[in-house]
Amino acid sequence: MKIVAAKKILKANDQLAAENRARLDAAGVFCLNVVGSPGSGKTTLLEALFAQLKDRLKPAVIEGDIAGSIDSERMERIGVPVVQINTEGACHLDANMIASALKEIELKGIDLLAIENVGNLVCTAGYDLGERLRIVVLSTSEGDDKARKYPAIFQGSHAMLITKTDLLPHTDFDLERIAADFKRLAPEGAVFQVSAVRGDGIAEAADWLADKCRGN
């Protein structure tokens, strides 16, 4: 019985996600779902990408957190329109939450809607939000075995952004190992190596994202 119920929830989520996607497509808004562990660098990466893209794209953000509005305040500080979702314990966003948040966003004039999911490599994998693209953020301090241990989240992602490359000299993180594991799980997936604090690799990742927004 429980398995059937879980399937029903996911089916209902898929339906709502399709509606979100249709709504965003109709408004000409490209939607990006950013997933990764707590502290992997998702917000810092978005800040760096938005700075790089400021003359090319007008972004908005939905921030998903269990509690608080720290990341939304960061977005407000850089002038990006933002809606905060507090999941109050849930370890992932779902399409219904996004549908509610969309009611609070003026989509006119927005090119890119980035959704920063709740920091989690497990639960976020099962929920389509209505995005066109999903990127998984993995920092060099988390270990290069994560694609083997949490394959689902890597499998469904269009790109893996390896963050905090400035810390590489202080870790045993093997870039080749994680890239090979990701390629096995997502053969078409792109891989970027970035340091958001130093700016390394941000231009390449931003160009790729801008291309995707243009439908390339």
Ligand X SMILES: Nc1nc2c(ncn2[C@@H]2O[C@H](COP(=O)(O)OP(=O)(O)OP(=O)(O)O)[C@@H](O)[C@H]2O)c(=O)[nH]1
Name the site residues for ligand X (rule: CB under 6 A). 36, 38-44, 71, 119, 163-164, 166-167, 195-197
Segment lying near Mg ion (by CB under 5 A), choices 24-32, 39-47, 75-83, 86-94: 39-47
Segment lying near Mg ion (by CB under 5 A), choices 18-26, 40-48, 162-170, 181-189: 40-48
The minimum distance between CB 166 and ligand X, in angstroms, equals 5
Distance CA 50, CA 76 (A): 12
In the stretch 60-89, what mask flags binding to Mg ion with x, by CB under 5 A? -----------x------------------
Using the 8-state DSSP alphabet, how is residue 6 labeled?
A: H
Distance CA 159, CA 119 (A): 17
Residue closest to ligand X, measured at CB: 119
For 12, 65, 102, the CA distances from 27, given in Å and listed in that order, are 23, 26, 11
For 162, the 3-state DSSP assignment is: strand
| Tokens matching residue 69 | 């509005």
Cβ-based nearer residue to ligand X, 75 or 213:
75
Cα 79 → chain centroid:
19
Q: Among ligand X, Mg ion, none, what binds residue 33 when CB lies within 5 to 8 Å by partner kind?
A: none
The minimum distance between CB 1 and ligand X, in angstroms, equals 34
Q: Among ligand X, Mg ion, none, what binds residue 181 when CB lies within 5 to 8 Å by partner kind?
A: none
Cβ-based nearer residue to Mg ion, 119 or 156:
119
**Are 201 and 176 contacting, i.e. CB atoms less than 8 angstroms apart?**
no
| Tokens matching residue 22 | 């249709």
Contact call for residue 142 and Mg ion (CB under 5 A): no
Strands (E), the chain: 30-36, 59-65, 82-86, 112-116, 133-139, 159-163, 190-193
Cβ-based nearer residue to ligand X, 141 or 155:
141
Q: Among Mg ion, ligand X, none, what binds residue 196 when CB lies within 5 to 8 Å by partner kind?
A: ligand X
Cβ-based nearer residue to ligand X, 169 or 215:
169
Distance CA 210, CA 197 (A): 21
H or E element: which one contains 208? Answer: helix 202-213
| Tokens matching residue 167 | 């810390």
- Kindly list the residues in this chain that would bind Mg ion in the complex (CB under 5 A): 42-43, 71
